[in-house]
Amino acid sequence: MAFKSYSTDSKFKHSGLSVQIEEEHVSIVDLLDVTDVESSSSDSELELWDLQFQPEENEKKKLFSQGLYKPGSGEVCAKYITVSASSVLNHVYYEYPSVKDPAIKDALLLPEKVIRYEDDGQELYLQLCKETNQTPIKIFHRGLLTDTIDLRYYGIHPGGMRAMSLALSCNTNVKTLDLTSNFLNNVDACYHLGQLFGFKNAINRLILKQCNIRRQGIRPLVVYFFTRNFDLLDLSDNNLYDEGLAYLIEQLDTGAVIRRLILRSNHLTSVGLQSLAASIEYHDNIKCLDLSWNNFVVPFGPRALFHALAESEVIAELDMSWTSLKLSTELAPLFNIRTLKKLNLSNNALPSASARVIGKNLHLSRGLDLLDLSFNPFTPSDALFLLSKMKLSKVRVKELRLDNIPVSKEFPAELKEILKLKFRRNTVVTYGHVLRNYNLPEKDIKIIVMKRLVRTTHRKSKNALDVLLVGLKYLDLAEFNRCMRTNETPLKDEFVERMYRSFQGIKNDAGGKFANLDVMVDYIHRLWPDKKLPPTPPPTPPSPPAPRRTKKKLHKGKKVVKKK
C-alpha cells in the first residue's frame, strides 16, 4: 500500500530553555504503516526531523549542574495540557525545570534586611521626607556635608523635625546646629530633637533661641544631655520658668558638661537660681553663664550663686544685667574669683553702697578685664570714687563702663590724669553726661541792681522817671523812697536795702544810710554809654533894680502941664 505523507513545514523556535516544534497531527494508522516504507524513501522522509541547529550544550545539564533542575519533576508545563499525548511524548522538553526556592521561606521566616545609608544622612533624609510627604529643606540637605547648619528664622514645621533628627543621628560633619526662632512648641518636635543626642554625632553647639520650648518641651529635649559635652547651649527666650530649669539642672547633676550656658529671658527667679548654684558648687564646668533679663529681686538666689562661683576655677564670664539686683555687700564674693574676665551688672538697681563695696574689693580681682556698671542709679560721687580706684596699679581692669551715669566736672579732668599713667594707656572708661559742665561768669551785683532800678523807673511812660535826675548828692534812704513815691514808682524795702548796700555811701553822724550817687552814675555810663545827663541850665542873672522916681521941684510962677 502506498504511503502518502501529510507533513507540514516545521518551525523551530528557541525560547529560554526549550525548543518548540509545531507540526500537523497524523492518524495512528499512518504511523503504523511507516515500517513498510522502503529504505530509499524513508531516508528522504527522515530529513524532515533533522534539527537545523546544533546546541553547544544541553540546557538541562547546565541547570542540573547549578542545582536548579531535577529530572523527573513530574510537573508538566501548562501550555501543553491541551496537546495530544503523542505530541507531548515526541516533544524534546515537555517538562519545565523546577524552581529551587522563590524566596518564600526567607520572606516568611527571616526579618527584612536593613537598608544601609551613608553616615552623612543625605540619602536617608530624602527617603524620610518622601515617606512622610515632607518637602526637603535644601539648606539642611547641603549643610549635612559642612560643620554648621544655619536655619535661623527659617520657619521649620514641627513635623519635619523627625527626618532632620534621624539624618543627623550618625553625622560626623555637623558641629553647630542653629534653630533660632523656629517652631519647636510641639512636644513631639522636642522629643525627636532630644533623641538625636542619644546617638554618636559631632554636634557640640546647640542654639535654640526663641523657639518657645516652654516647660513641657524641655523635659524630652534634655533627656540624653548627660552623655554630651556642649561648648554652647543657648536656650534664651523659651519661657522655661523654674520648673523647666529643674530638668536641665538634673542633667548637670548626672554628668552633662556645658561650657557656655545662656538662659536669658526665661522668667527665672531666685528659687531656680538657688538650685542652679547648688549644682555649680559640685559640678564646676560652666565657663560662661548668662542669666540676664530674669527676675532676681529676692536676694537669696544671687547670694547663693555668688558664693558658689567664688569657689569656681573655670568661670570666665558672668552676665547678670537686667535682673533687678539691689545688692551691696553680697557682691564682694564676685571679686574673689581668680578666673573671672568679664562681669556685667548693668541695668540694675544697685544702690550707692554697692559702689563702695565694688571699689573696695576691685583690687582683689587680678584677672578682671571688663566691668560693666552702666545704667545703675549711682551718684556723681560714686562714679568719681570708682574712677579713683583706677589710679592703683593693683587694679587690673582694662575697661570700666559707666554709661548713663551722671558725673561731675571733676570726673573728666581726673580721667585725663589717669590715662596718662603708663599702666593705663590702653584703659577704656565710659561715662554719662557731665553735670554743671559750664562756668558761670561772676556777675556784678551793682549791674543787676542798676538794670532793675532803671527798668522799674521806666515801667510807666506817663510817670517815667530818669534815675539820673534823682539828685546829685548823697540822699538819705527815707528821702529816696519819698522821691520814688512822689513819681508813683514805689520800690520794695528789700530792693532799696540791697541797693544801698551795693552803692554804700558815707554814713552821717546820726547813722543815716546814704547811697553813693557818683558810683551809680559811673555804672550808668558803663551800661548805657549813650546816656547823658541833661545840660544844667545857666543860672538866671538877677534882675536889675528898678530906677527910683524923683519929683522935680517946681519953680515958683511955673505951672507943670501933664502930657496926655
Position 41 scores a pLDDT of 46
CA gap 258, 482 in Å, rounded:
91
Mean pLDDT in residue range 10-25 = 39
Does residue 543 lie in a domain region?
A: no
pLDDT, mean of residues 25-37: 44
For the segment 521-526, the average pLDDT, to the nearest whole number, is 76
pLDDT at 525: 74
433 plus 463 within the same structural domain: no
Q: Is residue 258 part of a domain?
A: yes
Same domain, 139 and 205: yes
Q: Is residue 97 part of a domain?
A: no
Integer Cα distance of 225 and 250 in angstroms: 10
Q: Which among 117, 209, 203 is positioned nearest to 165, based on CA atoms? A: 203
Domain contains 564: no
Angle (nearest 5°) at CA 220 between 219 and 225: 85
Residue 481 to residue 488: CA distance in whole angstroms: 10
Cell numbers at 48, concatenated: 524532515
Q: CA-to-CA distance for 341 and 318, rounded, in angstroms?
A: 9
Interatomic CA distance for residues 207 and 209, integer angstroms: 6
Q: Of residues 72 and 484, which shows the higher confidence score? A: 484
Query: What is the structure's pLDDT at 360?
Result: 95
Q: Is 274 part of any domain?
A: no
pLDDT score of 544: 79
pLDDT level of residue 219 (50, 70, 90 thresholds):
very high
Determine whether 563 is exposed, middle or buried from the number of CB atoms within 10 Å of its CB (0-12, 13-18, 19+).
exposed
Element (H, E) at 19: strand 18-22
Nearest to 292 by CA among 339, 351, 237: 237
Return the ∠ at Cα 320 (arms to 406 and 238), rounded to 5°: 125
Residue 60, pLDDT score? 75
Q: Are residues 158 and 76 in the same domain?
A: no
Name the range with the highest mean pLDDT among 53-67, 254-268, 429-443, 451-465. Answer: 254-268
The residue length of the chain stands at: 564
> Cβ(165)–Cβ(195) under 8 Å?
yes
Residue 13 has pLDDT above 60, yes or no: no
Q: Are 397 and 335 members of one domain?
A: yes
* 157 and 141 part of one domain: yes
Number of H helices, E strands in the chain: 20, 17
For the residues 107-120, what does the mean pLDDT come to? 88
Mean pLDDT over the full length of the chain: 81
| pLDDT band (50, 70, 90) for residue 28 | very low
Mean pLDDT of all residues in 89-98: 52
Whether residue 81 is found in the same domain as residue 132 = no
Which CATH number belongs to the domain containing residue 254 in this structure? Answer: 3.80.10.10
Q: Compute the distance between CA of residue 194 and CA of residue 464 in angstroms, rounded to an integer.
A: 94
**Mean pLDDT of the region 472-476:** 50
Same domain, 359 and 474: no
User: Do residues 180 and 149 lie in contact, with contact meaning Cβ atoms separated by under 8 Å?
Assistant: no
Q: pLDDT above 70 covers what percent of the chain?
A: 73
Q: What cell does 84 get?
A: 495530544
> Is 435 found in the same domain as 327?
yes
Task: Give the pLDDT confidence score for residue 46 in this predicted structure.
Answer: 45
* β partners of residue 344: 319, 372
Hey, what's the torsion of the CAs at 64, 67, 69, 75, to 10 degrees? 160
Please tell me the chain's helix, strand, coil percentages from 3-state DSSP, rounded to the nearest 5.
40, 10, 50
pLDDT in tens, 404-422: 999 999 999 999 999 999 9
Mind giving me the DSSP string for 462-514? TT---GGGS-SSPEEHHHHHHHHHHTT----HHHHHHHHHHTB----TT---E
For residue 497, give its domain range. 445-527
pLDDT, one tens digit per residue, over 371-383 is 999 999 999 999 9
Pairing between strand 257-258 and 18-22? Answer: unpaired
**Cell reading at 333:** 564674693
The listed range with the strongest mean pLDDT (17-31, 81-95, 191-205) is: 191-205
What are the tens digits of pLDDT across the range 225-262? 999 999 999 999 999 999 999 999 999 999 999 999 99
Three-state DSSP class for residue 541: coil
Q: Within this chain, do residues 323 and 394 fall inside the same structural domain, yes or no?
A: yes
529 backbone dihedrals φ, ψ, rounded to 5°: -65, -25
Rounded Cα–Cα distance for residues 412 and 419 (Å) = 11
Give the model's confidence band at 120: pLDDT under 50 very low, under 70 low, under 90 confident, else very high: very high
Confidence of residue 130 (pLDDT cuts 50, 70, 90): very high
Final residue in a domain of this structure, among 213, 248, 267: 267
* Per-residue model confidence as pLDDT tens digits over 298-314: 999 999 999 999 999 99
**Nearest-angstrom CA–CA distance, 172 and 238:** 28
Gap between the Cα atoms of 446 and 310, Å rounded = 65
Residue 111 lies in a domain: no
pLDDT in tens, 174-183: 999 999 999 8
Rounded Cα–Cα distance for residues 3 and 216 (Å) = 101
Domain termination site, one of 247, 267, 287: 267
Per-residue pLDDT band at 472 (split at 50, 70, 90): very low
**Identity of the residue numbered 508:** N
Task: Decide: residue 132, CB within 10 A, 0-12 exposed, 13-18 middle, 19+ buried.
Answer: exposed
420 and 348 assigned to the same domain: yes
Compute φ and ψ for 132, nearest 5 degrees: -95, 5
Provide the 10 A C-beta neighbour count for residue 54: 5
Shortest CA distance to 317 belongs to which of 289, 345, 277, 283?
289
Cβ-contact 398, 428 below 8 angstroms: yes
- Per-residue confidence (pLDDT) for residue 18, from 0 to 100: 39
**CA gap 211, 205 in Å, rounded:** 16
Query: What is the band of 5 on the pLDDT scale with cuts at 50, 70, 90?
Result: very low
Same domain, 329 and 435: yes
Residue 540 lies in a domain: no
Residue 228: half-sphere exposure toward Cβ, Cα within 13 Å: 27
* DSSP-derived secondary structure for 412-431: HHHHHHHHTSGGGTT-EEEE
Q: Check whether 489 has a pLDDT greater than 80.
A: no
pLDDT category of residue 51 using cuts at 50, 70 and 90: very low
**Within 13 Å of residue 154, how many CA atoms lie on the same side as its CB?**
20
Q: What is the mean pLDDT of residues 87-116?
A: 70
Local structure of 269: helix, strand or coil: coil
pLDDT at position 91, please?
Answer: 53
Number of folded domains that form the chain:
4
* Residue 234, beta-bridge partner list: 207, 262
C-beta separation of 339 from 313 below 8 A:
yes
Does 234 map to a domain? yes
491 and 418 in a common domain:
no
Q: Which pairing describes strands 18-22 and 11-15: parallel, antiparallel, or unpaired?
A: antiparallel
CB atoms near residue 488 (< 10 Å): 11
Are 277 and 307 spatial neighbours (Cβ–Cβ below 8 Å)?
A: yes
Q: Which residue matches cell numbers 519929683?
A: 551
